[in-house]
């Protein structure tokens, strides 16, 4: 089984810093089409997301599933199926947990649970920490997108001297749809 691991905020939906209400969920143009194309090509979709707003008390934990149901409604309206799973780090950074990206645990756990071949899988996100998470987990490819924080991250990376290998994406694309189109070769 191959998977497309997707960061959520800034990659699939518009980043509103803390989405604590389903009404704040809005897909990035082309994201649903990208997910639908990947699903038709046999990729499982796993959302891999740091939601520190839970640990900080800004996002009520019981609202998160409602936010994801809203995301699924919006995806279905554009022909995509719901993701196969949501891998969530609910911790604030100061909790120093073992799952917050760039740590690879969320991806590694999902791979075990769902029988995913990581070397055939792809991680996509709008931050260098997403790229690093994918690389440390052993994903075949880890890509940065310029949506969300991506353009800024790309610029920061360009001015970083001797970035660690795990920070350097295998490619930078304008958005998720461009990633999927390039991967599927059209």
- Reading the block at residue 124, the tokens are 């996509």
Measured from the Cβ of residue 112, the count of other Cβ atoms closer than 10 Å reads 9
How many residues touch Mg ion under the rule CB under 5 A: the total is 4
- Residue 9 within binding range of Mg ion, rule CB under 5 A: yes
What 3 state SS string does 138-163 have? CCCEEEEECCCCHHHHHHHHHCCCCC
CA distance 34 to 39: 9
Shortest gap between Cβ of 183 and Zn ion (angstroms)?
A: 29
Of residues 91, 101, 136, 141, which one binds Zn ion by CB under 5 A? 91
CA distance 138 to 69: 29
| 19 in Cβ contact with 13 (< 8 Å) | yes
Residues 123-152 that bind Mg ion (CB under 5 A): 126
Residues 95-114 that bind Zn ion (CB under 5 A): 97, 99-100
Q: Whose Cβ is closer to Mg ion: residue 120's or residue 146's? A: 146
Q: Which does 153 bind (CB under 5 to 8 A by kind): Zn ion, Mg ion, none?
A: none
Q: Whose Cβ is closer to Mg ion: residue 126's or residue 183's? A: 126
Q: Would you tell me which residues interact with Zn ion (CB under 5 A)? A: 89, 91, 97, 99-100
């Amino acid at each position: 089984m191959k998977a497309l691991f997707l960061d959520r905020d800034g990659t699939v939906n518009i980043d509103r810093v803390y989405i604590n209400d389903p009404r704040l969920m809005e897909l990035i143009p082309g994201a649903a089409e990208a997910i639908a194309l990947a699903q038709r090509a046999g990729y499982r979709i796993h959302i891999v997301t740091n939601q520190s707003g839970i640990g900080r008390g800004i996002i009520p934990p019981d609202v998160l599933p409602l936010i994801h149901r809203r995301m699924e409604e919006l995806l279905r309206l554009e022909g995509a199926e719901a993701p196969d799973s949501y891998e969530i780090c609910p911790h604030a950074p100061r909790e120093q947990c073992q799952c917050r990206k760039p740590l690879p645990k969320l991806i590694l756990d999902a791979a075990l649970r769902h029988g995913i071949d990581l070397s055939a899988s792809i991680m996509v996100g709008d931050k260098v920490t997403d790229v690093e998470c994918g690389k440390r987990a052993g994903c075949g490819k880890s890509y940065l997108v310029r949506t969300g924080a991506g353009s800024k991250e790309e610029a920061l990376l360009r001015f970083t001297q001797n970035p660690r290998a795990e920070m350097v994406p295998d490619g930078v694309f304008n958005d998720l749809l461009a990633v999927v189109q390039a991967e599927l070769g059209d």
